[in-house]
Chain A
Amino acid sequence: MKLLDHCSLKVQLIGIVLVTCATILLVNAGLFALYDLAQFRRAKENELSVLAQLIGEHSVAALMFQDAEAATESLEGLRSIPSIQVAVLYTVAGYPFAWYLSTTLPSGLPARIPEPGYRDGVLHYVAPVGWDGHTQGYVYLAASLADWRERVRDYAAIGGVVLLFSLGIGVMLLVLLEKRVSRPLAQLVAASQQVATSYDYTIRVPVEGPQELQKLAAAFNEMLQRVQEHQAVLVAAKEAAEEMSRLKSTFLANMNHEIRTPLAGILGYAQILQEVLEDPEQREMAQIIEQSGRRSLDTLDALLYMACLEAGTVRMQHQQLDVVAATQKVVDELLPMARAKGLTYAVQSTASRLECCVDAGLWERLVKSLVHNAIKFTEAGYVSVLLDGDETTVQLQVIDTGIGIPEEAQSTIFEAFTQISEGLTRDYEGSGLGLAIVQRIVRLLNGQIYVESQPGVGSIFTIVVPRCREAQAAATLSASEVTGRTLRRA
């Protein structure tokens, strides 16, 4: 069967037909030979019975008058029948009286009347010889079935020729007719291979051949039609999306410029006003203008950065970076903000140096966003930054005792423009872009981010980033995975 699997459909078809035909012919020939043997034996038996009767009629008088010479003479007449090997007349007492033995006889004269029947290719026949209602003796005839064997040999020779001839015709017919099946299949195979290599979905297969193959070809064509349509839709959608994205980037860049320029003016003059104005009330107004301007600028920055991340236009230069120092730098920058709120604030690291292959700007942005967020949402207690590392990863944890995040919100905090304390009262300023940016950066670094939080107790943000580029590849698949869990603190 294994061998068959290597053969083409054509060869298999021819093989199947040949084997089937040969089997049928051989079985037929075998059955015919058996039938012929039975027929032949029956005919031989009939022949012998007639012969025995004739011999009996002819030699009964000789038997009764003990004229062995005459009896032998009449038995000699059997010489003209070559298949008769032995003919013996036995007396009533069962002793041989007269006999005829053919020259080809191997067995000799049986001294007593042999059992009738078929033995060793020889048919033994015994018939009583009667006269006047009494049995006067017995005729025994032995006929060889050798001529049957000759006949079988002839049949076998003829059968062999017939077999070869019909198989030859079968193969010829098959070769002619087999194309009806194999051609459509070959076309299907060729078409599917072409589609697989060239991605050309405009190919169509002619629908022909047996019903099943017609259905297959029709289904194949239908499938290609669908794929073609889907592909067209997808290409259009992709082009539209790309166009949209390009438009968005251009729009953002323009807007950035258009908004930043007037804001610079506003901020500059608000600062000058604060210095120039004498009246404290008016100075406060100018200060509010400046603060509002800064917030607008921050939001604009975040928005722009986010847009750049989304568009993939952020420039990155991954290089070996000591994340402990980099983190410390960012934390120090935000120290005044924490101090103002009276929070305990510290960076702890398991090692004095942790090397990681990341872009310094991305890392700083990441830490800044997380720590800034932590300080912003914490009114009392502490904000703590932990750094840890193993052979392949670097782990950053930002722990706070702030307002926390309800479990149902933990899956949405990474979406852009989302703040949990939504609704009419927004207690906290901010664009809601911080965590969205964090998540996108982590994704760029092929890292993972987890959040554990309990409302009113605090939050822990954990970021795991692979240390080097090789390890990043392995983590790519699950890079953007975000898991939320409720934190239980002792």
Chain B
Amino acid sequence: MDPGFTMDTVKEQLWWLAWVLFVGILAGPTLPQQAPLGEGRAYRIKAAFLYHFSQFSTWPEAAFSGPQAPLRLCILGENPFGEALEQLQGKTVQNRPLEIVHLPAGSTAFSCHIIFMGHMPETVLKATLSQLQGRPVLTVGEQEAFLKQGGMIRLFEHKNRVQFEINVAALRRSGLQLSSRVIRLGHLYEEK
């Protein structure tokens, strides 16, 4: 290759880097790798992840009261998202409206399809998860022991990125189907 060509490529890549930095500042969420993951931004991404999990999941027909029935996303206990949940307002999932429900910690959440469990005492967490055992409800949490106690997906931050861990055995028990596309992306947790 001639040097002119290489120079051009290097130049272009420099330009590209400059441009990416510029865009990264303006439109942070779209390029999480480049921007530092702040508290607010992380939860905005997590909220989007919740929505995307619902998009890749399949519930049994019985989980809904009718074809037009809403898909319920419940926030159990403390709400760490703040304003971030508002971006999901009015969205649809598999032709169903998305409904966001806030529930106090410890409440029974049988009518929910996805539950995000905020920070709560381990005993309460354990009780709630065992209550939902075998039901088609996708449980998402953040706590270290979430999967160990029977939760399905745990969100965590690593290398400046929001990542997730999946308990495939729990998923299988619930009768829910999470697309293999998502499973491929997540870290797999194996129950002991």
Contact = CB atoms under 8 A, between A and B. Distances in A.
Interface of A: 58, 60-62, 64-68, 70, 91, 93, 95, 106, 108-109, 111, 131-133
Given A61-B181, A68-B33, 14 more contacts: A60-B181, A61-B56, A61-B182, A62-B181, A65-B52, A66-B161, A91-B30, A95-B23, A95-B30, A95-B31, A109-B16, A111-B19, A131-B56, A133-B95
Interface stretch (B5-13, B73-81, B127-135, B141-149): B5-13
A70 B12 contact: no
B189 interface: no
A66 B55 contact: no
Nearest to A71: B185
Given A61-B182, A106-B5, A109-B16, A93 B30 contact: yes
A64 B50 CA distance: 11
Nearest to B27: A93
B45 interface: yes
B12 A108 contact: yes
Contact of A95 (B12, B27, B92): B27
18 contacts: A58-B181, A61-B52, A61-B56, A61-B181, A61-B185, A64-B52, A65-B49, A65-B182, A65-B185, A66-B32, A68-B33, A95-B27, A108-B8, A108-B13, A109-B12, A109-B16, A132-B55, A133-B95
Given A95-B23, A132-B94, A64 B55 contact: yes
B179 interface: yes
A95 B20 CA distance: 9
A212 B113 CA distance: 97
Contact of B185 (A67, A91, A111): A67
A95 B34 CA distance: 13
A95 B22 CA distance: 12
A109 B9 CA distance: 10
Nearest to B15: A111
A463 B76 CA distance: 152
Contacts of B52: 61, 64-65
Given A68-B33, A93-B27, A111-B19, A62 B185 contact: yes
A239 to B, nearest CB: 101
* Among all A-B residue pairs, the 8 with the closest Cβ atoms: A61-B181, A132-B55, A108-B12, A64-B52, A67-B185, A61-B182, A65-B185, A91-B30
B93 interface: yes
Nearest to B52: A64
Interface in B1-52: 5, 8-9, 12-13, 16, 19, 23, 27, 30-33, 45, 49, 52
A91 B24 CA distance: 13
